[in-house]
Structure 1
Amino acid sequence: MRPVLVITHAPHEGPGLISRGLDAPLRVRTVLDLEDARLPALDEVSGVVVMGGPMDADDVRGHPGLAAERALLAAAVDADVPVLGVCLGMQLLALALGSHLHLRAATEIGFAPVDIDVEDPVLGALGTRPTVLHWHSDTVDLPPGATLLASTEATPVQAFRVGSALGLQFHPELDAGMLDLWLSTPDMVGELGDDEIEEIRAAGGRHLPGLVPAAEKMFAGFGELVRARG
């Protein structure tokens, strides 16, 4: 079986629970700061996963590899290759599909509900109003032709689908160990107070035991699409 391409932007923002749902080898690449960023051809992979990161999704001057990522995402949607974009990955997917990015438009950090309004074969495993981890300050408009799947009051576009591609602004890929990693990573918590960090840690203890099995089921659904491509 062809590998799944996983594009990362920060060492602490790996695929987490996503990898458990993929019955396929992973090919992890980080091309963020490469002027001559080269990513595998789509006929070499069974799916594409693009993870989060702290940079602005439109900062191609500062991070030239983002242009190659956007080009690959647009081509993957055209070729009906299974795509999953998380946080920054969703924003890159949206930009690749002609959407607009809004910087510092809505800061959401911590566990809070998200409204899932439309049935989706992958996202539907989370239910209709799960409490999930949010960690973003930028938002995107719904791309042309996309179906809006989830929203919050602060962030109207929390998830969308375009054909084979699913974008998620929130972070269902974390388990307790990955949350601990984030909460001990200065790049993640540098602007948070100790009380805010402990509040997120405590919320993780309450919500992750129920969220993780639902997220694993969701990512297994994405894995089925990947296996169908082979």
Structure 2
Amino acid sequence: MHIHVIQHVPFEGVGCMESWFSSKEAKVTYTKFYESFQLPNIKAIDLLIIMGGPMNVSDDASYPWLLEEKVFIRKVMLTEVPVLGICLGAQLIANALGSRIFTNKYKEIGWFPIELVNENCELLPFPKRFPAFHWHEDTFDLPKGATCLMRSEGCENQGFIIGKNVVGLQFHLEITAEEVELMFENCENDLIDDLYVQSPSKIRELTEDYADLSNVILIDTLDYLTS
């Protein structure tokens, strides 16, 4: 299996997925847009994973590669290659399909419950309610042809599926304690006093409680996408 990962910044990596890659003995390649980069031959990959990042999907002036990335995502979605988008990755999928990306009513940073809103997607491994790690201020309109999967109190569209092989998640199931610390180091200015923004100490405490469960849900999702 050949997995290709698109990574936008060095501090938002694959987290718990690295162990899953190893367990599958997968070939893993990366496009790292913060370095010199190259996008792969679509026919050569079996799974595309699009990671998060602090930039906005329309910030083409500062990040001109965003235009090229969205064209690439559209091309991949015309094939049968499974796609998983995480946070910015989910927004990029939605935007590549013409959906609006806009500032959410609330910034969400920390661990907040996710509620399943569509239980018809029985193949997907999501519990009806589970804690998830969030770090975002933007959200998206649901892409054409997508089914909304879940919501939170602070954000109505938290995840979607298109067909059976494209999944977008606004939250971070891949998160580990190490990844959380990297977010603190690089995005501390986001930690404002707001309704759905937790303190670093609270986030650290809840990461210890919930990260393992979160990781299991993501691994089950990867198994679904590659089955």
TM-score range, shorter-chain basis? 0.7 to 0.9
Pair 1:80–1:97, CA change in 2 (3 A): same
Q: 5 Å matches for 1:25-64?
A: 25-31=27-33, 38-64=38-64
Could you tell me which residue of structure 1 aligns to residue 110 of structure 2? 110
TM-score (structure 2 length as normaliser)? 0.87
Pair 1:125–1:20, CA change in 2 (3 A): farther
- Of 203, 206, 212, 1:203 maps to 206
Identity of aligned residues (%): 32
Could you tell me which residue of structure 2 aligns to residue 228 of structure 1? none
Q: 5 Å matches for 1:74-113?
A: 74-103=74-103, 105-113=105-113
TM-score (structure 1 length as normaliser)? 0.86
The root-mean-square deviation of aligned C-alpha atoms, in Å, is: 2.2
| SS at 2:111 equivalent | strand
| SS at 1:189 equivalent | helix
Displacement over 6 Å in runs of 4+: none
Question: Greater share of strand residues, 1 or 2?
Answer: 2
| SS at 1:40 equivalent | coil
Q: CA contact under 8 A between 2:57 and 2:66: conserved in structure 1? A: yes
Deviations 1:131-185 (A, max 9, x none): 00011000100011111111123211100111221000000001233223333x1
Segments of structure 2 that go 5 or more residues without pairing to the other structure are none
Segments of structure 1 that go 5 or more residues without pairing to the other structure are 226-230
Pair 1:19–1:118, CA change in 2 (3 A): farther
Q: Distance in 2 between matches of 1:220 and 1:198?
A: 33
Deviations 1:178-202 (A, max 9, x none): 223333x1x2223427981111111
Q: Which residue identity lines up with residue 159 of structure 2 in the other structure?
A: A
Q: CA contact under 8 A between 1:33 and 1:65: conserved in structure 2? A: no
Could you tell me which residue of structure 1 aligns to residue 182 of structure 2? 181
Q: Does 1:139 align with 2:139?
A: yes
| SS at 1:12 equivalent | coil
Q: Distance in 2 between matches of 1:11 and 1:33?
A: 9
Q: Which residue identity lines up with residue 28 of structure 1 in the other structure?
A: Y
Could you tell me which residue of structure 2 aligns to residue 220 of structure 1? 223
